[in-house]
Structure 1
């Protein structure tokens, strides 16, 4: 019996009796086999396949192209397998011959995961060597390419469900390093998903590795700031404070206190420009609305490029611009500080100044020469 192995997860591969034949097939022949392999026991309508791959209004041409590609595969198959026909077909339908031994990698990957053991989940994870039909694209077959896109999304969702289940099993069994490895795999898919960073941070806190917990907090901060220009969620910031308090650090992340002073923390990613100022803006936004409403619109607009959280205070969104003009940022923050210090002197407390990013340090020097600001 002829054996056909079709691998669709990751780089496409087709083996006939353990020998690769992919370089002997046309691109569309490979696409047709892949399409049929997803439902290998199904009987397919020939017109539907022809329309998917050629998308032509010329019915006769589409049918001819399909026949030609099937003939190419039949010719190759018979040459390597003593005249065996891999298809059963008539004028309207086509399917794989039931005597053909076909293995398709996704058939074992699509099983329900709810009752799977850890070992079974690990085997499913191994099957996922990459995205469905990774890098495979047919230029003039938009319907086929759309089908690939939706299948790819569907299978990736199942892969992510598998990872979540596997991660939870590892945590329940106190296999924390394995759980972290799975979380890293998940971050490779979605590097902006904050709850994944939070889980890693909490695991490291649980096992007492505060240094690595802090490393991953800073990693999260850097990614969000560079990609989205936002700060981490409050829950992640709480985890950060837990790390600092457990290590008896006296510094806190840019916090406005009740004595009309601003405390700038030391332990921040110093290679991220404007990091400390961006965190400072977060804390300013926590001040009472009655005070913030006195801040000029132009000042909100000038600091918007380093922290988009201020957008809610900007009435004319058309004026927003992501280009950073340093002197405008400095002057805008100076004006805001003047509003905050109308009723009392405003003090700035700097702890471990050597860790603060260069641009934020430059602002501190700038503002320290102004009235009503005491460093």
Structure 2
């Protein structure tokens, strides 16, 4: 049975990690705390009675003490750590007992102990001894408590000063700032600490923050002590304000192995780069190079080295990354890669293409507010237009440059829609100076993974090539380690590193960082490092990446570690503002933590935000948290993201907010965000994905369930999944029995389904049901849709032009009644067809023209292109070839611009 007693901060006792709440009185807790702070020392009963009941008679005080000791025995269920005799009481903790104040004092008494022990002791100091604790009628206890609090606070200030001095001596100024700030939080009028923090800020290049720290120092001294800063503080302020250099140790570099063992792979990349830049292009040149290797194999490092080479050759570099944690939007990695080049696109591309790109990159409209609205985002044609716009974007970037290099990391986590776009771009850019580079883990892409499908499809046409990265052999490692620590020390050190890492470059890097942070690997001669004595035992290393990462992460100060855990929960890129809001800390504190993590190589900048240096670090931090803690932190990140939502960021935030609420155990809170995500998704696969998630959560509101079914059923229609489409239509119909106003919509979707499958009898029955339901509820919009559907079937199946005309006119009246302009235009278009077939050419021309005017008014250019052909055909009997040619040319122009090739088929 484990026992933990916490006295630093709030009083708490835990047995087997469960809180003990059976302390009946405040003096029972006080007695335990006093005895614990005097562990191993017998305290006489008379001393305890006089301490807690000084005004009571001796017999009464002795009785109260006996009762208190009985309460303590009962609280510990008989396994009390107290040794009680008739004369005295002794606190004797068992081996499995942890007492924070004892552990803290032991570290303090050890004097100049090791840095890890100092950090552990600081983490134990959760606050003043028995913070907020008070008992009546015991002034001597209160006096003892105040004195002990001051002693312990002085102790933690000593440890914080040691940690700060250690960092400052090594030139690690940003890391020192964290310890100095903690010291000032405890004693804000300690002027020497203010000076140290000012100096650390200035040496780290944060001049404005250093000057602000002086102002905080001055304010604290005047408000707390009524004095001004000392002359040396004023002199330091003037020196920083004048921009004078401060004496400082040089900022140390961390140990890093040079880039070795990847010469053959790098040569393959440079050869592919050279081939991509040649004009004219030879056939069967790979345009997509995929780096394959296990987690930590060095794929990203190789890519970075190659990118550095390509940039030196004048290439334009674009890069994006796929993520496992959180909800990744379709096409997001490619959108992230293209984003830095938006100003070039805004200046070079025609508005029609920019309008399409703005669906994926909304910030384009800030650069070009004059852009027209895009065509409706629905159907295969919308996807084709978007793909074509991105291809035109890349084509424009490649003009006038040797090569464009687009790198996508962690493709094993890419969604199917993103890989479809990549497949399209590789084929479209086959004759352009554009090279695509990707990295993936083979263990994550077991067939039928969409990346496997893409790779095989492109490889058949010699457009893709896989470059495999094996583990580094020990012979290669020997050479690199000799450069690091010298030839004499290299053999045993390299053998150790290879044995523990098995040649995995990421593990090698983490092990070097761990040795450095344990002060077992120190800067030596210029460009060289020195191993401390007994470096093998300086830190326990393991071949497990998890153990190595946790060793480094757990050395962070507690507030910084808490923020890092929140960053791991966030899942993708993160910034100081998000973490600060989620943690309830200041933005400055979060920014300082980010800088510290970057210095420790736990994170790296990613545009204006940050990302983990390797996904294994994120994964380790995330899964090291207890599940209950993960749920709570998901909720905090979800709330912080939800507070940031606005329609300008609608494409990125709703899926992320929904993800965090789902993992927070609040499914109903996730549902409205999933609905937003489904409505705004740019790929039908994503619509299905979000709707699946929402329906699995079983929305309580029937109308919400109906809306998810409607969105998913329409997505299945465009994806060609007839069985799923029919099942959703039937589910909508069943649910509509509870929702009278939804019956028309359910029957209408079923009518469309049967029509597209050629089951016209069933389609007609469904359309008639839709019409009846809409008229019963007074839904003129649904009535118009049903009448159009019935009119099409009567015209095409029955050949009854007169009855079809009646239905279209009724639909026209219903549409005009509610201002349903799309349905009004559709009815006019169908009426125009009937009028033309009956030889009423002039009437048909006017009807068509009215239809086109509405589509132009609504900016539905695809529909304009669709109706130009029948309008042109009306002029054939009149022989007006010139007019027909102009209309046909206009139709083909629209088709080319908007990616609708089927509108270019036919003849004049």
Task: Measure how far apart 1:228 and its partner are.
Answer: 4.4
Task: Measure how far apart 1:50 and its partner are.
Answer: 0.9
TM-score (norm 1): 0.59
Aligned to 2:148: 151
Indicate the SS of the match to 1:6: strand
Q: Deviations over 1:269-306 (max 9, x none)?
A: xxxxxxxxxxxxxxxxxxxxxxxxxxxxxxxxxxxxxx
Structure 1 residues 164, 63: CA separation in 2 closer, same or farther (over 3 Å shift)?
A: same
Aligned to 1:32: 31
Counterparts of 1:77 and 1:13 in 2: how far apart (Å)?
Answer: 13
Structure 1 residues 114, 241: CA separation in 2 closer, same or farther (over 3 Å shift)?
A: same
Counterparts of 1:48 and 1:100 in 2: how far apart (Å)?
Answer: 27
Between structure 1 and structure 2, the one with the greater Rg is 2
How many corresponding residue pairs? 242
Aligned to 2:69: 70
Aligned to 2:176: 179
Q: Which has the higher helix share?
A: 2
Q: Does 1:197 align with 2:191?
A: no
Aligned to 1:236: 233
Task: Measure how far apart 1:98 and its partner are.
Answer: 7.0
Counterparts of 2:86 and 2:50 in 1: how far apart (Å)?
Answer: 15
Check conservation: 1:214, 1:243, Cα contact below 8 A.
yes
Aligned to 2:99: 104
Counterparts of 1:85 and 1:224 in 2: how far apart (Å)?
Answer: 47
Check conservation: 2:174, 2:204, Cα contact below 8 A.
no
Aligned to 1:17: 16
Aligned to 2:129: 132
Counterparts of 1:237 and 1:85 in 2: how far apart (Å)?
Answer: 57
Task: Measure how far apart 1:91 and its partner are.
Answer: 2.0
- Tell me which of 72, 86, 95 is aligned to 1:91: 86
Task: Measure how far apart 1:100 and its partner are.
Answer: 7.9
Counterparts of 1:97 and 1:170 in 2: how far apart (Å)?
Answer: 38
Aligned to 1:270: none
Task: Measure how far apart 1:191 and its partner are.
Answer: 1.5
Aligned to 1:208: 205
Check conservation: 2:8, 2:127, Cα contact below 8 A.
yes
Q: Deviations over 1:220-242 (max 9, x none)?
A: 23333444454322222222222
Indicate the SS of the match to 2:76: helix
TM-score (norm 2): 0.25
Task: Measure how far apart 1:40 and its partner are.
Answer: 2.5
Task: Measure how far apart 1:75 and its partner are.
Answer: 2.9
Counterparts of 1:94 and 1:225 in 2: how far apart (Å)?
Answer: 48
Structure 1 residues 212, 68: CA separation in 2 closer, same or farther (over 3 Å shift)?
A: same
Check conservation: 1:40, 1:96, Cα contact below 8 A.
yes
Check conservation: 2:39, 2:93, Cα contact below 8 A.
no
Q: Deviations over 1:15-58 (max 9, x none)?
A: 23332123543111111111111122222211111111111351
Structure 1 residues 138, 96: CA separation in 2 closer, same or farther (over 3 Å shift)?
A: same
- Tell me which of 117, 121, 125 is aligned to 2:118: 121
Structure 1 residues 108, 226: CA separation in 2 closer, same or farther (over 3 Å shift)?
A: closer
Indicate the SS of the match to 1:103: strand
Aligned to 1:288: none
Structure 1 residues 91, 183: CA separation in 2 closer, same or farther (over 3 Å shift)?
A: same
Counterparts of 1:156 and 1:178 in 2: how far apart (Å)?
Answer: 22
Structure 1 residues 228, 71: CA separation in 2 closer, same or farther (over 3 Å shift)?
A: closer
Counterparts of 2:9 and 2:80 in 1: how far apart (Å)?
Answer: 28
Task: Measure how far apart 1:206 and its partner are.
Answer: 2.2
Aligned to 1:280: none
Of 208-217 and 122-131, the range deviating more from structure 2 = 208-217
Question: Structure 1: where are the runs of 5+ without partners?
Answer: 248-375
Counterparts of 1:122 and 1:23 in 2: how far apart (Å)?
Answer: 33
Q: Does 1:217 align with 2:226?
A: no
Higher relative contact order (CA 8 A, sep 6+): 1
Check conservation: 2:218, 2:229, Cα contact below 8 A.
yes
Q: Does 1:4 align with 2:3?
A: yes
Check conservation: 1:86, 1:100, Cα contact below 8 A.
no
Structure 1 residues 241, 17: CA separation in 2 closer, same or farther (over 3 Å shift)?
A: closer
C-alpha RMSD of matched pairs (Å): 2.3
Q: Deviations over 1:42-84 (max 9, x none)?
A: 2221111111111135110000001111112223433xxxx55
Of 131-140 and 13-22, the range deviating more from structure 2 = 13-22
Check conservation: 1:163, 1:182, Cα contact below 8 A.
yes
Task: Measure how far apart 1:10 and its partner are.
Answer: 0.5
Structure 1 residues 120, 137: CA separation in 2 closer, same or farther (over 3 Å shift)?
A: same
Structure 1 residues 193, 61: CA separation in 2 closer, same or farther (over 3 Å shift)?
A: same
Q: Deviations over 1:116-160 (max 9, x none)?
A: 122111111101000011111111111111111111111111111
Check conservation: 1:171, 1:179, Cα contact below 8 A.
yes
Aligned to 2:807: none
Aligned to 1:50: 49
Indicate the SS of the match to 2:242: helix
Indicate the SS of the match to 1:28: helix
Counterparts of 1:94 and 1:171 in 2: how far apart (Å)?
Answer: 46
Check conservation: 1:38, 1:104, Cα contact below 8 A.
no
Structure 1 residues 52, 206: CA separation in 2 closer, same or farther (over 3 Å shift)?
A: same
Indicate the SS of the match to 1:239: helix
Check conservation: 1:53, 1:144, Cα contact below 8 A.
yes
Counterparts of 1:36 and 1:230 in 2: how far apart (Å)?
Answer: 41
Structure 1 residues 76, 118: CA separation in 2 closer, same or farther (over 3 Å shift)?
A: closer
Structure 1 residues 99, 122: CA separation in 2 closer, same or farther (over 3 Å shift)?
A: closer
Q: How does 1:180-329 map to 2 (within 5 A)?
A: 180-246=177-243
Check conservation: 2:173, 2:203, Cα contact below 8 A.
no
Check conservation: 1:113, 1:162, Cα contact below 8 A.
no
Structure 1 residues 22, 173: CA separation in 2 closer, same or farther (over 3 Å shift)?
A: farther
Counterparts of 2:32 and 2:10 in 1: how far apart (Å)?
Answer: 15
